[in-house]
């Protein structure tokens, strides 16, 4: 097995002994794992030697929540709350599923951008309507295998009709529009469990770094028996039960409208708050919600950039941490964020929580943000024994950054530089499972120019088709805008509105042309 020895570098290990304080040492990689950390380490005669002087070596970043399904919609939307944005990114009226080659390229592009920007592991909440197809899921696995990234990959599922998963939908949407939303019989818990068992048997563990995870879309979109089946499989296989919870005010209203309690309390009563549980977002959680989450030892993926772009709100990060909830960072999909850079999320998360209150002693620190981007993210992915820190026996998932670069000149505090100054431009080398996947600004696993050329050739026809799909779905925008408006005015937990509720007039809402 090949060895790589990094000599005389500043190591930022994020382990129990050193945390986020860098120290000078050598690091030896043997095959896929870190074999030794220390001084004057010896290596095999044929080992690759990397001079670590003026270099910072740190764990690869973990993107705790993303959606490869959105990769081709970068730079397409703005000024839309989630409920409206979903109409265009995840249309109610659908065409046939994206073709196999575009599916591969879409997944590959996300992995390429992630690796280039220091993300060595991500959790892809892959959504592929209208059906679950093992071959198509395998295409996503193949793209990530080819790119060389580590990933948890889902086959996101829902089996409750959209109109029964949104408050006020049945009363607001005209019957003529409701009649258009015939999705056929929903998938049963047993049928989805059988599909997942096949995914575990055929795809899970591929290349030693690609895992299948369970991703029921959200508690209001999935029946209790479906969620229970997903949790059973997640626990059996030691993978996340990854779901969206309380991203928007509308979702906060949903729990009280449908279940008479918050969505977190609803999941708790169903026995679905566990160590395996990871919530994407958790913006609208109450103190009681956070107490239940902390007691369960569960995790959240904090999507600081996406939450701002979609106007969802600011998660109570300090209170979540104080409650004992593990926090990782996620980009969300690249059409609610527009990049796959966790460095961007780190910076926004490091800044936005300073407006959470005047007690600056409780503001989130750079050290905490850096942990979220590494070992915290690994824990949300149930991979903290594999990655997220530089420790002997763990996978060699690491970054080498040039300290003679603008973000580090002059050098003061590593965590603060990484959170507030770095944007990925200082990365020289990216390694995943001991394999160098990017070096000197070039991916070693993929011909980037060829991929870009092929995507550029195929995109005009695909995006023209999607534009027509957007036009067809625009008829639902006034309804979704009204649901968003009513939810924004609703006093959560109380059967009343805050202020007057003017009558709904769909003609007042803009339509997509």
3-state secondary structure of 321: helix
Token pair for 331: 């980009």
Q: Which residue has the tokens 């290990």?
A: 13
pLDDT per position in the chain (513 positions), as tens? 699 999 999 999 999 999 999 999 999 999 999 999 999 999 999 999 999 999 999 999 999 999 999 999 999 999 999 999 999 999 999 999 999 999 999 999 999 999 999 999 999 999 987 789 999 999 999 999 999 999 999 999 999 999 999 999 999 999 999 999 999 999 999 999 999 999 999 999 999 999 999 999 999 999 999 999 999 999 999 999 999 999 999 999 999 999 999 999 999 999 999 999 999 999 999 999 999 999 999 999 999 999 999 999 999 999 999 999 999 999 999 999 999 999 999 999 999 998 877 889 999 999 999 999 999 999 999 999 999 999 999 999 999 999 999 999 999 999 999 999 999 999 999 999 999 999 999 999 999 999 999 999 999 999 999 999 999 999 999 999 999 999 999 977 655 555 555 555 544 443 333
- Going from N- to C-terminal start, the domains of the chain cover 61-363
Phi then psi dihedrals of residue 385, to 5 deg: -80, -10
Separation between Cα atoms, residue 345 and residue 351, nearest integer Å? 10
3-state secondary structure of 312: coil
pLDDT of 130: 74
pLDDT of 425: 97
3-state secondary structure of 34: strand
Report the phi/psi class of residue 14: left, alpha or beta, with left for phi > 0 and alpha for psi in -120 to 50: left
Token pair for 154: 């889902």
CA dihedral in degrees (331, 334, 337, 341; nearest 10)? 50
Q: Are 299 and 234 in contact (CB under 8 A)?
A: no
Which one-letter DSSP state was computed for residue 497?
A: B
Q: Are 92 and 476 in contact (CB under 8 A)?
A: yes
pLDDT of 497: 54
Which one-letter DSSP state was computed for residue 164?
A: G
Distance, C-alpha 258 to centroid of its chain = 27
pLDDT of 510: 39
Separation between Cα atoms, residue 409 and residue 258, nearest integer Å? 54
Task: Collect all residues with Cβ–Cβ distance below 8 Å to 276 and sequence separation of at least 6.
Answer: 231, 234, 235, 238, 239, 240, 241, 298, 382
pLDDT of 420: 98
What radius of gyration, in Å, describes the C-alpha atoms of the chain? 23
pLDDT of 507: 43
Q: Which residue has the tokens 């997509």?
A: 512
3-state SS string for 4-30: EEEEEEEECCCCCCCCCCCEEEEEEEE
Q: What share of the chain is helix, strand, coil (3-state, %, to 5)?
A: 40, 20, 40
DSSP per residue, 443-493 = ESSS-HHHHHHHHHHHHHHHHHHHHHHHHHHGGGHHHHHHHHHHHHHB-TT
Separation between Cα atoms, residue 484 and residue 497, nearest integer Å? 13
3-state secondary structure of 109: helix
pLDDT of 54: 98
Separation between Cα atoms, residue 396 and residue 412, nearest integer Å? 26
pLDDT of 57: 98
Specify the fold of 61-363: TIM Barrel (3.20.20)
Report the phi/psi class of residue 444: left, alpha or beta, with left for phi > 0 and alpha for psi in -120 to 50: alpha
Separation between Cα atoms, residue 269 and residue 230, nearest integer Å? 16
């Amino acid at each position: 097995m090949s060895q790589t020895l990094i000599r005389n570098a500043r190591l930022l290990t994020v382990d129990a002994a050193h945390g986020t304080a860098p120290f000078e040492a050598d690091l030896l990689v043997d095959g896929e794992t870190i074999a030794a950390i220390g001084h004057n380490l010896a290596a095999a005669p044929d080992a690759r030697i990397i001079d670590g002087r003026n270099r910072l070596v740190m764990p690869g970043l973990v993107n705790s929540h993303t959606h490869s399904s959105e990769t081709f919609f970068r730079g397409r939307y703005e000024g839309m709350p989630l409920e409206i944005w979903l109409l265009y990114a995840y249309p109610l009226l659908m065409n046939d599923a994206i073709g196999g080659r575009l599916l591969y390229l879409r997944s590959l592009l996300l992995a390429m951008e992630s690796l280039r920007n220091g993300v060595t592991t991500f959790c892809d909440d892959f959504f592929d309507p209208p059906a679950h197809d093992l071959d198509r899921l395998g295409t996503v696995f193949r793209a990530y295998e080819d790119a060389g990234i580590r990933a948890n990959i889902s086959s996101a599922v829902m089996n409750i009709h959209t109109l029964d998963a949104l408050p006020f939908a049945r009363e607001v949407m005209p019957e003529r529009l409701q009649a258009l939303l015939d999705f056929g019989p929903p998938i049963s818990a047993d049928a989805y469990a059988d599909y997942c068992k096949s995914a575990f048997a055929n795809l899970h563990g591929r290349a030693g770094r690609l895992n299948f995870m369970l991703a029921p879309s959200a508690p209001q979109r999935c029946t209790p028996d479906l969620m229970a089946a997903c949790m059973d499989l997640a626990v059996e296989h030691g993978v996340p039960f990854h779901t969206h919870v309380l991203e928007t005010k509308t979702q906060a209203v949903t729990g009280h409208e449908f279940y008479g309690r918050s969505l977190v309390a609803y999941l708790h009563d169903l026995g679905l708050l566990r160590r395996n549980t990871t919530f994407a977002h958790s913006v609208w959680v109450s103190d009681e919600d956070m107490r239940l989450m902390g007691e369960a030892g569960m995790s959240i993926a904090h999507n600081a950039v996406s939450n701002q772009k979609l106007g969802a709100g600011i998660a109570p990060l300090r209170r979540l941490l104080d409650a004992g909830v593990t926090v990782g960072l996620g980009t969300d999909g690249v059409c609610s964020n527009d990049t796959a850079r966790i460095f961007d999320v780190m910076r926004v998360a490091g800044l936005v929580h300073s407006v959470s209150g005047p007690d600056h002693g409780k503001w989130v620190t750079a050290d905490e943000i850096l942990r979220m981007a590494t070992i915290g993210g690994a824990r949300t992915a149930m991979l903290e024994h594999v990655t997220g820190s530089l420790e002997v026996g763990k996978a060699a998932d690491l970054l080498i950054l040039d300290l003679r670069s603008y973000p580090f000149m002059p050098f003061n505090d590593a965590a603060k530089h990484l959170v507030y100054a770095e944007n990925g431009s200082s990365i020289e080398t990216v390694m995943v499972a001991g394999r160098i996947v990017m070096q000197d600004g070039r991916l070693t696993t993929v011909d980037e120019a060829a991929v870009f050329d092929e995507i550029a050739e195929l995109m005009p026809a695909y995006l023209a088709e999607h534009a027509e799909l957007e036009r067809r779905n625009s008829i639902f925008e006034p309804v979704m805008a009204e649901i968003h408006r009513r939810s924004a005015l609703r006093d959560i937990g109380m059967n009343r509105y805050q202020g007057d509720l003017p009558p709904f007039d769909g003609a007042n809402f803009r339509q997509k042309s």
